[in-house]
Chain A
């Protein structure tokens, strides 16, 4: 098995996998469902401990059988995934078809430590449309190492909304790779509230002119949770736009990481790249690490990145309280307001309501 990356690698400087390396994981086994699974009244694909569960699924159209993974990636986690993947969702939407929305649930119930490495493949033909709402949840000690490969042909549009709500002892290391052709749009938002340690690593490549992407996220962490959001956006064609707004709400001893890299090839003139990480530290022990990188070889581009770190404003809290709103609620209103901009790409109504509920629940959970 490929070795896990260590902090000696620049890409892993802020996220230490030694606690993951210390666990010996068994191959995933079937398990009982011990929690209610989300149901949005749309087609649903359910994986239990990484294996497709037909009984719980109401599959969408254009779903096909899993095919063996052949992958030459240099990314260690993708290599590990390639060596172990034996299930995952494969959707291939034909050109000019609006395939609606599908809910993909990964549920884990690990009585003893186990690992699973699903490989998901999403392909949209020219002009096709799809919304994917992905939820990862579970209990026990487990390692969920999904790789999602996305191919969007000319003018295709994918809305990809992810809720990472893994169990409190879980490791979640997701890699999402998207190839975005001319005029295609990859709109993503990730809400990170679960897992002991997690990372979402995006590799978005804009391969044709006027392609666009949003890679937005919100991290809501407490206790000793660690969450890493890493992105590499490669602009390989002119007139493309990439937007990243990542908001981190960090309480207790939690730690957030944002690493964002924008690469602009020489041919990619008129690139419009934007990257923003804003962290709200709710405790003096919380930590945020931010590493933006721009690598630009074209001379007519607009690229910006910014970062802010702050706390809740006592003036705003007092204003709300003076109107009769209890302090806890005042704080949650302000945190919700802080997250607003990150949720912008979520245009699908049911997805938005679902994610907003998850934010509310997070607040009440404690």
Chain B
């Protein structure tokens, strides 16, 4: 379970999050919607431990662990996965090797046995097939020369293989055509289960047609200003975010 209490954070002198309260129980998918500049990406980076953000107040616990006191790699080992809005290119680093190193780091941190190259490839090929991705995605350098859609699919592939307990999807739908969007959604839906929860951050309702959330929250000016069921997303789609900042 993810429990965020009164979380505030700033970049430099600029306050971005102003007391976010949010609880995501295991097994649930929550969407966070909101206008540009509301703090959606900041929330995802603060939860995953990116440098450059100062937490000025509040707390974030996942399964009882104080996320904000942990290194990014420790958060990953605890089960937190961030699907990046802009996945990073790693020239000279093979994708298969990268994901295997990540998986084995996490397994090692959890005291599990590491996977050898053969066992990993077997797993990865199955995942790739399930996600209707081209086979060569494993052989290429991480995200180098990938189209926008391929980069997002590669995030979902990593998620499928790392099997996180909490996935944070930061505008994973941006720049995706409808086919890629469906693949990404299938990837998330495949992980659904009693031990899996997700924060789906998105600007548009479109993704939520395919990943149906249990709850929808609206983040505006650094605070959750409204929460509701999936129907809230439809309402926002129809009416826009106008007026919500004042709520």
Task: Write the residues of chain A forming the contact surface with B, with a CB cutoff of 8 angstroms.
Answer: 313-316, 318-327, 329, 333-334, 336-341
Output the least CB separation between B117 and chain A (Å).
Answer: 15
**Contact mask B126-162 → A, CB, 8 Å, 1/0?**
0000000000000000000000000000000010001
**CB atoms of B87 and A321 under 8 A apart:** no
**CB atoms of B71 and A321 under 8 A apart:** yes
| B90 in the interface (beta carbon within 8 A) | yes
**Contact mask B34-62 → A, CB, 8 Å, 1/0?**
00000000000000111100000000000
**CB atoms of A319 and B102 under 8 A apart:** no
Q: Which residue of the partner chain, among A313, A321, A324, A340, contacts B109 with CB atoms under 8 Å? A: A324
- With an 8 Å Cβ cutoff, the count of chain B residues facing the other chain is 29
**CB atoms of B73 and A327 under 8 A apart:** yes
* Interface residues of chain B: helix, strand, loop or mixed (majority): helix
Query: Considering only CB atoms, which chain B residue lies closest to A341 in the complex?
Result: B92
| B31 in the interface (beta carbon within 8 A) | no
Output the least CB separation between B97 and chain A (Å).
Answer: 9
Cα distance A341–B82 when bound, in Å?
30
**CB atoms of A337 and B106 under 8 A apart:** no
**CB atoms of B88 and A319 under 8 A apart:** yes
**CB atoms of B71 and A323 under 8 A apart:** no
Query: Considering only CB atoms, which chain B residue lies closest to A337 in the complex?
Result: B92
Output the least CB separation between A139 and chain B (Å).
Answer: 33
**CB atoms of A322 and B77 under 8 A apart:** no
**CB atoms of A319 and B84 under 8 A apart:** yes
Q: Which residues of A contact B175 (CB under 8 A)?
A: none
Most buried by B among A323, A324, A325: A324
Query: Considering only CB atoms, which chain B residue lies closest to A321 in the complex?
Result: B72
Cα distance A292–B210 when bound, in Å?
56
Output the least CB separation between B49 and chain A (Å).
Answer: 7
Q: Which residues of A contact B92 (CB under 8 A)?
A: 336-341
Q: Which residues of B contact A334 (CB under 8 A)?
A: 90, 93
Q: Which residue of the partner chain, among B75, B81, B93, B99, contacts A333 with CB atoms under 8 Å? A: B93
**CB atoms of B51 and A326 under 8 A apart:** no
A-B pairs with beta carbons under 8 Å apart, 10 shown:
A318-B51, A320-B98, A321-B73, A321-B76, A322-B48, A322-B73, A322-B81, A323-B102, A333-B101, A338-B92
Task: Write the residues of chain B forming the contact surface with A, with a CB cutoff of 8 angstroms.
Answer: 48-51, 71-73, 75-77, 81-82, 84, 87-88, 90-93, 98-99, 101-103, 105-106, 109, 158, 162
Output the least CB separation between A81 and chain B (Å).
Answer: 37
Q: Which residues of B contact A325 (CB under 8 A)?
A: 73, 101-102, 105
Q: Which residues of A contact B99 (CB under 8 A)?
A: 323
Q: Which residues of A contact B88 (CB under 8 A)?
A: 313, 315-316, 318-319
Q: Which residues of B contact A326 (CB under 8 A)?
A: 71, 73, 105
Q: Which residues of B contact A318 (CB under 8 A)?
A: 50-51, 72, 88
Q: Which residues of B contact A316 (CB under 8 A)?
A: 88, 90
**CB atoms of A324 and B87 under 8 A apart:** no
Q: Which residues of B contact A340 (CB under 8 A)?
A: 92
Given A314-B51, A333-B101, A323:B76 Cβ within 8 A: yes
**CB atoms of A324 and B105 under 8 A apart:** yes
Q: Which residue of the partner chain, among B76, B84, B91, contacts A324 with CB atoms under 8 Å? A: B76
**CB atoms of A323 and B158 under 8 A apart:** yes
Cα distance A339–B162 when bound, in Å?
28
**CB atoms of A322 and B82 under 8 A apart:** yes
Q: Which residues of B contact A315 (CB under 8 A)?
A: 88
Output the least CB separation between B166 and chain A (Å).
Answer: 13
Q: Which residues of A contact B76 (CB under 8 A)?
A: 321-324
Query: Considering only CB atoms, which chain A residue lies closest to B45 in the complex?
Result: A318
6 A-B pairs with the lowest CB-CB distances in the bound complex, closest first:
A337-B92, A324-B76, A323-B102, A324-B106, A321-B72, A319-B88
**CB atoms of A329 and B90 under 8 A apart:** no
Cα distance A239–B76 when bound, in Å?
54
Output the least CB separation between A215 and chain B (Å).
Answer: 21
Cα distance A318–B48 when bound, in Å?
9
